Amino acid sequence: MAYNLLKGKRGIIFGALDENSIAWKTALSVHAEGGTFVLTNAPIALRMGQLKELGEQTGSEIIPADATSEEDLKNLVTKSMEILGGKIDFVLHSIGMSVNVRKGRSYMDENYDFTAKGWDISALSFHKVMQTLYKNDAMSEWGSIVALTYMAAQRSFPDYNDMADNKAYLESVARSFGYFFGKDKKVRVNTISQSPTATTAGQGIKGFNGFINFADQMAPLGNATAQDCADYTITLFSDLTRKVTMQNLFHDGGFSNTGVSREVMDKFE
Ligand code: NAI
């Protein structure tokens, strides 16, 4: 059901690769709520992915940008304001990739060039996106910036590898930049800590099926799906959450505050 919560709002959505992507579902929901936006992804992902289809469905233009490139980001931000006809009200950073994970390197055997590249893509890019928006004075007052994260930033999950460190950095950037964006421009910055979700990035994690089923049986409400995440993100982009900022918001059906569930206990009795 749509409530027109984003009527008249303009945004940029990073990271829709295919219809499973959290950013893809979010783009469809933002569109249903009356928001307009530019879609963006890395040039390589645009060649391989299906973003054109999403652009057509939502009447959105697509601007390629490698989120690690300051030049690409400046071009993206400037062109988005031209296309959308004004400053930006909402931004979704939905980007993650570990080169160590992709190349099968364990946490105890990191290749540090891979580590640096993965950190740049998954964590520092959030700072680069916000610095570009800030310096170009591209955000409207009471605008909202959201990035997606995972609880491995707080607790150890052995197979999450160096993405755990990347997520800890990402969440810290949200707090640190959130202070300045709040003070200087009245813009809020938050991270959503999402349940394991079956997407290209999610399924890259070793033992993902066990991981997602365990979380589902632990959480009193079950895992939050990609669509649930899209719905939650809409509220953070809307005017109903204007004083929520610098937060890491768990969106996981209660998993993060559950010690153990009856279902999991039953397996050990
Ligand atoms: P996805 O694979 O659909 O999305 C990841 C996106 O990052 C892709 O669109 C990819 O092209 C983009 N990307 C990679 N390198 C890039 C670069 N250099 N510049 C710009 N974009 C680049 O997977 P998903 O799951 O939708 O991931 C979105 C976010 O959600 C990520 O931050 C991920 O860590 C986070 N997340 C995912 C969970 C899961 O279990 N799937 C759980 C918690 C958080």
Is 165 among the domain residues?
yes
Q: At what angle do helices 125-135 and 70-84 cross, to 10 degrees?
A: 50
Is 51 among the domain residues?
yes
Which residue stretches of the chain have pLDDT < 70? Answer: 1
Is 218 among the domain residues?
yes
Is 132 among the domain residues?
yes
Pocket test of ligand 1: the residue of 48, 54, 95 to mutate, having most ligand atoms within 8 Å of its CB, is 95
Distance (angstroms) between ligand 1 centre and the Cα of 228 equals 16
Pocket test of ligand 1: the residue of 21, 25, 48 to mutate, having most ligand atoms within 8 Å of its CB, is 21
pLDDT tens-digit readout, 129-184: 999 999 999 999 999 999 999 999 999 998 899 999 999 999 999 999 999 999 99
What is d(CA 216, CA 108) in angstroms, rounded to the nearest whole number?
28
pTM: 0.98
Is 164 among the domain residues?
yes
Question: In this structure, what CATH number is given to the domain that contains residue 197?
Answer: 3.40.50.720
8 Å CB contact between 204 and 21: no
Catalytic residues: 150, 160
Is 4 among the domain residues?
no
Is 49 among the domain residues?
yes
pLDDT tens-digit readout, 119-143: 999 999 999 999 999 999 999 999 9
Is 181 among the domain residues?
yes
Pocket of ligand 1 (CB under 6 A): 14-15, 17, 21-23, 41-42, 45, 66-68, 94-97, 121, 148-150, 194, 196-197, 199-202
Q: How many domains does the chain have?
A: 1
ipTM exceeding the 0.95 mark: yes
Q: Whole domain around residue 112: which residue ranges?
A: 10-268
